[in-house]
Structure 1
Amino acid sequence: MRAVLALALAVSAQLVAAPPSSAASAPRLGFRITRFLGEQLLAHKMEFDGTVVGGLSGIDRDPRTGTWYFISDDRWRYNPARFYTGALDIDRRTGAFTGVRLTSAITLLRPDGTPYPGYGEPGSADPETIRFDRWSRNLLWGHQGDRPDARDPAIPLSDLFVRWAGRDGRHLGELPLPANLKVTGTDSGPRRDLGFEGLTFAPATIAAVVAGPRYEDGEPPTAGSGAPARITVWGRDGRLRGQYAYPIDPLPAAPIPPDGAARSGVSEILALDDHRYLALERSWIEGVNYKVKLYEIDLRRATDVQDRDGLATGRPYRPVSKRLVMDLENVRAPVQNLESLAWGPRLATGECTLVIGSDDNFDQREVTQFLAFGARGC
């Protein structure tokens, strides 16, 4: 077991007119990983409650009951869009992380009360993130949308959304989206597979992040340059509060071969308070595998870009500041497709627990993994 390293990255804060290639500086904000508590895995394509388990793209916990929620991004390859409930066994006294189990599978329902259709059909859902709301005791989940491309020219347009659901899967409403997140059939708006990936509740706000840049915001990250992703913020009343640019790093390595495929972006966010979040930044690079880093970000000095059609050109703007907390390669190698962040129980030591989970893509070369950490400053 390798020691977890908490690293700090500080670079000069500056205004930018084009997608930033590095993070703006941030003060040391106090969040730090104190220790690694353990790892648990689920069996590949295990069967549970009439479903095939996999593709777990978001997790969260009800602090009152200790129930965990896990959302699958399966688009009816095996079963309809769904989430699971379960438990992660973390000893509050010692911090030992000793087990994971599922307790139920719940189908997500559309406004008309029917399951979401399968991949490639109108109205299909691609669930990528889920949160439990301790105030209403309902769930909020995000769909990253879809659009045709050269590989799948027949895919219908599907707008991004953030929807409320009961713990029984019933549709309970949705949040309004800014016009700049409208999916189109042209080279404008969100790119395919770069819609909502992360979602979080803060004391007075709700925030969601798209994985990568809209067409108007610039090209996706390369080994030489980064790109901006937009974080949208709502009040607890559901009204839009603002939108801020998250500066995705350049690719951490070049593909092998140099013209190979690569993708990098934000796979989840988790609030520390109404201004500070943790952010998972994940890359997949052909010939290299996954690279994942955990950052702490701060929105307080960032420019509200909600009314800006594009970020690649035009007036300068200030992105959110970010500070490196941990490179996941120093915890477990090879790094998995980490897509989930959630708070676990607070320990007797006063430490909070942070759980990071992976989406195995239903691929036998990958795993469904949960990593638990002790932390301070949360």
Structure 2
Amino acid sequence: MTRRQTMTRLAIATAVGFSLVGAPPASAASRDFQFTRFLGEQQLAHQLQYAGTTVGGLSGFDRDPLTGTWYLISDDRARFNPARFYTGKLDINRRTGAFTGVHITGVKTLQRPDGTPYPGIGLPESADPEAIRFDKWTRRLLWADEGDRPNSTELTIPVSQPGVRWIDRDGKFLRELPLPANLNNTDAERGPRRNGAFEGLTFSPTTIAAVAEGPRFEDGARPTLERGAPVRINVWGRDGEIRAQYAYPVDALPATPIPPTGSGGGGVSEILAIDDNRYLTLERFSIAGVGYKVKLYEIDLRGATNVLERDSLASGDAYQPVSKRLVYDFDDLESPIQNLESLAFGPRLLTGECTLVIGSDDNFDTRETTQFLAFAARGC
């Protein structure tokens, strides 16, 4: 273990009272998700080369519980190589919980229906891969594409629709889930903003859910220092039929840019089901002069209003958003906060604790890191 890893573990233990020896007993009266201990941090080398590709931009991952294989999707849009996903292995000891390594073991290109790779950024029908999930029932993969569209500074970008697409484990296109019309990208101030469509994806026992990163134009402004913003969680049945949309209240901007005229923004970067009603969400902000600010929440869909038929969340009748509870503020980490975008359960430990792995997208930037953080938890 490196000195930084040791310091990180001590910082977490001090901040939230975790035991580094064993997990506290679970409360029979509470099903709240909660961390019990920090298991370790691992990183991949910057621009690691594997099978003729550049590893980076990892924006989502998931694990096959039968084989232990991890699937990791890159949001590289042909800057280095065509849109793709990797397979890998994470070394987590089920007896001790020690997290000791990350290894890339394979790579596959994401294919369009005609079998060709997706075009690069700025071209028609380009893809922006942001999340991937392994379906233990069909042993196939599902991935989320944010699509693309023009904005006020890049007027010539063609519209590419977001999507949630089934593929096999070789990357072959199988089919696509129906997209609600209110989440179509457009070339006007309607629908999702650029880089504001599907960012997170998950399976619950009976449904599929995907969350938009930011608010649609019709749903209001992006988060500011004074107020947050609503984004939409879309829920499909396992049969592929759209069931509902729910409003998720993103926090206000958590810090002032430096200088105050600098940029700052963010939203939901991943979602992970605990059961049919409870989910974990990552809220991730990037703020000029400050860096990344990230929090982990537990949310509950029960009692929330179905807003599928509502064109605007900024006007009209009142609605009830999903409830949310803070699980962890990553400011408590001594290790510098990275661009955290991935969230998945690892193996269950012999103590009965589940493991949660959180990963970062390094944006292929030398100033950033491909980071994996592993925690043990209860309530999952």
With the length of structure 2 as denominator, give the TM-score of the two structures: 0.93
Q: CA offsets, 1:27-65, max 9 Å, x none?
A: 975110000000000000010011000000000000000
* 2:316 aligned with 1:307: no
Distance 1:235 1:161 in 2: 16
Query: CA-atom RMSD, angstroms?
Result: 1.2
Instruction: Quote the residue 2:213 is aligned against.
Output: 211
The residue number in structure 2 matching 1:326 is 328
Residue 198 (structure 2) aligned to one of 196, 199, 216: 196
Alignment of 1:275 with 2:284, yes or no, is no
Whether the 8 Å contact between 1:211 and 1:265 is mirrored in structure 2 is: yes
**Is 1:108 the equivalent of 2:110?**
yes
Q: Amino acid of the residue matched to residue 3 of structure 1?
A: I
Report the CA distance shift for 1:6/1:315 in structure 2 as closer, same or farther (over 3 A). Answer: farther
**Contact 1:90–1:96, Cα closer than 8 Å, also in 2:** yes
Residues of 1 paired with 2:245 and 2:30: CA distance?
23
Q: Does 1:3 align with 2:48?
A: no
Matching residue's letter, 1:194: G
**Matched residue, 2:67:** 65
1:247/1:29 CA distance change after superposition, 3 Å: farther
1:364 corresponds in structure 2 to 366
- For 1:353 and 1:196, the matched residues in 2 are separated by 25
1:96 corresponds to:
98
- Displacement of 1:6 in angstroms is 5.5
Equivalent position of 2:241 in the other structure: 239
| Cα distance between partner residues in 1 of 2:325 and 2:32 | 11
Q: Distance in 2 between matches of 1:311 and 1:137?
A: 37
1:81 and 2:50 matched? no
**Whole-angstrom distance in 2 between the partners of 1:29 and 1:256:** 40
Alpha-carbon distance in structure 2 between the residues aligned to 1:28 and 1:327: 21
- In structure 2, distance between residues paired with 1:202 and 1:322: 18
Q: The residue matched to 2:12 in structure 1 has which SS?
A: coil
**Aligned partners of 1:76, 1:179: CA distance in 2, in Å?**
28
2-structure distance, mates of 1:325, 1:178: 31
Q: Which of the numbers 157, 167, 181 marks the counterpart of 1:179?
A: 181
Residue in 2 that maps onto 1:346: 348
Q: Distance in 2 between matches of 1:221 and 1:136?
A: 38
Q: Distance in 1 between matches of 2:130 and 2:31?
A: 28
CA distance in 2, matches of 1:294, 1:87: 24
Mark the runs of 5 or more structure 2 residues left unpaired by the alignment. Answer: 1-7, 18-28
Distance in 2 of aligned mates of 1:30 and 1:289: 30
Partner of 2:23: none
Larger RCO (CA within 8 A; separation ≥ 6): 1
Structure 2 counterpart SS, 1:3: helix
**TM score, norm. by length of structure 1:** 0.93
User: % of aligned pairs identical?
Assistant: 67
Q: What secondary structure does 2:307 align onto?
A: coil
2:26 corresponds in structure 1 to none
What is the letter of the counterpart of residue 41 of structure 2?
E
Corresponding letter in the other structure for 1:242: A
Query: SS of the counterpart of 1:154?
Result: coil
Residues 285-341 of structure 1 deviation map (CA, whole Å, 9 limit, x = unaligned): 111100000000000110000000000011100000000000112124321000000
- 1:258 counterpart residue number: 260
2:368, 2:30 → 1: CA distance?
A: 35
Q: Is the 8 A contact 1:6 1:32 kept in 2?
A: no
Quick one: distance in 2 between partners of 1:293 and 1:46?
28
Letter in 2 for 1:234: W
1:16 — aligned with what? Answer: none
Query: Which of 206, 220, 223 does residue 222 from structure 2 map onto?
Result: 220
How far apart in 1 are the matches of 2:298 and 2:183? 25
Q: In 1, distance between residues paired with 2:148 and 2:115?
A: 22
How does 1:3-22 map onto structure 2 within 5 Å? 3=12, 5=15
SS at match of 2:154: coil
Given that 1:6 and 1:325 are in contact with CA atoms closer than 8 Å, whether structure 2 keeps it comes out as no
Gaps of 5+ in 1: 8-26
